[in-house]
């Protein structure tokens, strides 16, 4: 491992990516996550020659890699360090590709539990003329066009104890404040908004006594009526449950985003529960009807009940199910595994 890593240069990686479309063919080796899959799919979208994505081949000309010190992009003998910025943020942005790029960036931010990098924010600020808007507001999804109770149910990070995943408790919380069930966050007056924020912070303090108002107010990125946070949650879920093909399809045709978001809202809006958590030598086994091991890990890391270095599996009757995100396998969708003590 290098003893010293220079400053990240994502702008150099962007130039590298822009230069490769002249290649006769291309293999891209990537990690199995939303950001890397979308970035690679967008590169291949504009290649004129046959190209492929690999999660394992060591002979690819282009490689995205994640190491302890950050992310790297290697093309043939040239390697560029991009720090914690997402792979999607080095893809040239166009109106046709905005949604996949925003989804990749936001999913990287979500899964790494970090703020947007300066590079990512600069990309989005420079794209405001394309329809991107940046706001400072609550870190709950889709507060412009979804009822507040649904935004609260979908709040995976921050996880709001007793409210995230519970339709009944989310509605009870907003009724307690005197808010109509179908109201949107943007329709609240200052008093109601401050009361809601106070309630959310008070609930989160049960698992994180150090949480403050500033921890749940952050940069929020929107494109037209799409929320990048909800896009990230949705495609993390569908990568777990369907596999990478859905992301490749999305990169090729961003119009499917609304269909998938509506499906995600329908599934999550019914509510979900998290029961017992047990640990064996290989896994954390979670009794839950939320069929996304990755989103479950995101929640449980906040409650400090799991470690990031150990895979999550879902107990589904007599089956144990996980995602390719956690294990080395050729299978996709929810994968049955065996637990051993």
Closest CA to 158 of 102, 110, 226, 221: 110
Q: Strands 62-67 and 26-29: what pairing? A: parallel
| Residue extents of the structural domains in the chain | 10-96, 117-270, 274-336
Structure tokens at 172: 């009870």
Nearest to 132 by CA among 98, 160, 157: 98
CA distances to 150, 248, 250 from 43, rounded to whole Å, are 35, 11, 13
Report helix, strand or coil for 106. Answer: helix
Mean pLDDT, range 10-31, rounded to an integer: 89
The mean pLDDT value of the chain amounts to 94
Note the pLDDT of residue 82.
98
Q: How far is CA 5 from the centre of its chain?
A: 26
Nearest partner of 56 among 88, 81, 27, judged by Cα: 27
Residue 20: per-residue pLDDT = 87
- Among 5-14, 48-57, 91-100, top mean pLDDT goes to 91-100
Q: Is the dihedral of CA 188, 191, 192, 195 positive or negative?
A: positive
For the segment 277-328, what is each residue's pLDDT rounded down to a tens digit?
999 999 999 999 999 999 999 999 999 999 999 999 999 989 999 999 999 9
Distances 20 to 14, 47, 88 between C-alpha atoms, Å:
10, 9, 16
- With bands split at pLDDT 50, 70 and 90, how would you rate the model's confidence at 340? low
pLDDT band at 5 (very low <50, low <70, confident <90, very high): low
Q: Are 245 and 238 in contact (CB under 8 A)?
A: no
- pLDDT-derived band of residue 1, with 50, 70 and 90 as boundaries? very low
What is each CA distance from 209 to 111, 153, 255, in whole angstroms? 22, 22, 42
Burial status of residue 295 (CB atoms within 10 A of its CB: 0-12, 13-18, 19 or more): buried
**What are the contacts of 314-320 at 24+ separation with CB within 8 A?**
314/285, 314/286, 314/287, 314/288, 314/290, 315/285, 315/286, 315/287, 315/288, 316/291, 320/283, 320/285
- Using only C-alpha atoms, what is the Rg of the chain? 20
* Closest among 30, 27, 38 to 89, alpha carbons compared: 38
- Confidence check: pLDDT of 254 > 60: yes
Residue 3: the pLDDT is: 45
């Amino acid at each position: 491992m290098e003893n010293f890593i220079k400053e990240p240069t994502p702008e150099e990686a962007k130039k590298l990516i822009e230069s490769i479309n002249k290649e006769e063919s291309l293999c891209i080796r990537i990690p199995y996550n939303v950001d890397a899959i979308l970035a690679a799919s967008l590169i291949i979208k504009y290649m004129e020659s046959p190209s492929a994505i690999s999660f394992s081949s060591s002979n690819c000309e282009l490689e995205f890699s994640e190491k302890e010190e950050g992310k790297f992009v290697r093309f043939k003998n040239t390697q560029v360090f991009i720090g914690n910025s997402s792979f999607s943020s080095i893809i040239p942005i166009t109106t046709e590709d905005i949604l996949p790029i925003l989804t990749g960036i936001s999913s990287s931010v979500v899964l790494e539990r970090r703020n947007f990098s300066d590079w990512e924010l600069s990309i989005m600020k420079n794209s405001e003329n394309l329809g991107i808007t940046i706001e400072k507001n609550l870190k709950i999804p889709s507060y412009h066009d979804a009822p507040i109770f649904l935004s609260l149910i979908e709040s995976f990070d921050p996880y709001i104890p007793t409210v995230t995943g519970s339709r009944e408790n989310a509605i009870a919380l907003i009724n307690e404040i005197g808010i109509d069930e179908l109201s949107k966050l943007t329709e609240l007056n200052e008093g109601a908004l401050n009361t809601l924020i106070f309630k959310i912070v008070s609930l989160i303090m049960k698992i994180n006594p150090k949480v403050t108002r500033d921890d749940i107010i952050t940069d929020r990125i929107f494109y037209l009526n799409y929320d990048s946070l909800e896009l990230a949650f949705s495609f993390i879920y569908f990568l777990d449950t369907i596999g990478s093909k859905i992301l490749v399809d999305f990169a090729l045709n961003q119009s499917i985003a609304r269909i998938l978001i509506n499906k995600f809202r329908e599934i999550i809006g019914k509510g979900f529960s998290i029961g017992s958590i047990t640990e064996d030598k290989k896994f954390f086994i979670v009794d839950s009807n939320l069929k996304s091991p990755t989103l479950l890990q995101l929640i449980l890391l906040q409650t400090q009940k799991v470690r990031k270095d150990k895979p999550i599996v879902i107990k589904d009757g007599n089956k144990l199910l996980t995602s390719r995100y956690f294990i080395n396998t050729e299978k996709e969708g929810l994968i049955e595994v065996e637990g051993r003590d």
